[in-house]
Amino acid sequence: MLTGAISPDDLIKVLDEKKGDDGHMALAEGYFYLGQHYLIVGDKKTAQNYFEKARELDVIIYTEHIAAGFELQRLTSDGAAGAAAPSVSQARAVAQ
């Protein structure tokens, strides 16, 4: 999706096909990357919605869970702290 191979709607359809734990975990990843997509295109409200959904799933072992928290922190700040917010690579280090 981030490279344009599929649309966000198509990604959601693929995620909806997965069931059980596999589906739950795929949703956590998918919601995070949907949030990233909407950040890139400038739709911060929709991005925030997807980052919140990723966090609500509580797949705490995933880097995307932690990174979604950082993205929400950046979005809720008034921009002054946004540049100082941890990067995704820092989130990966925290997750390990």
| 40 in any annotated domain | yes
| 32 in any annotated domain | yes
C-alpha–C-alpha distance, residues 75 and 36, integer Å: 12
Q: Find, among 9, 54, 5, 61, the residue nearest to 32 by Cα.
A: 54
Question: 5: burial class by Cβ within 10 Å (0-12, 13-18, 19+)?
Answer: exposed
Could you give the number of structural domains in the chain? Answer: 1
| 15 in any annotated domain | yes
| 81 in any annotated domain | yes
Q: How confident is the model at residue 95 (pLDDT cuts 50, 70, 90)?
A: very low
| 2 in any annotated domain | no
C-alpha–C-alpha distance, residues 53 and 56, integer Å: 5
Q: How confident is the model at residue 79 (pLDDT cuts 50, 70, 90)?
A: low
pTM flag (> 0.85):
no
Q: Note the pLDDT tens digit of each residue in 22-75.
A: 888 899 999 999 999 999 999 999 999 999 999 999 988 888 999 999 999 999
> Which residue range is the domain that position 52 belongs to?
8-95
Residue 43 tokens, joined: 């739709």
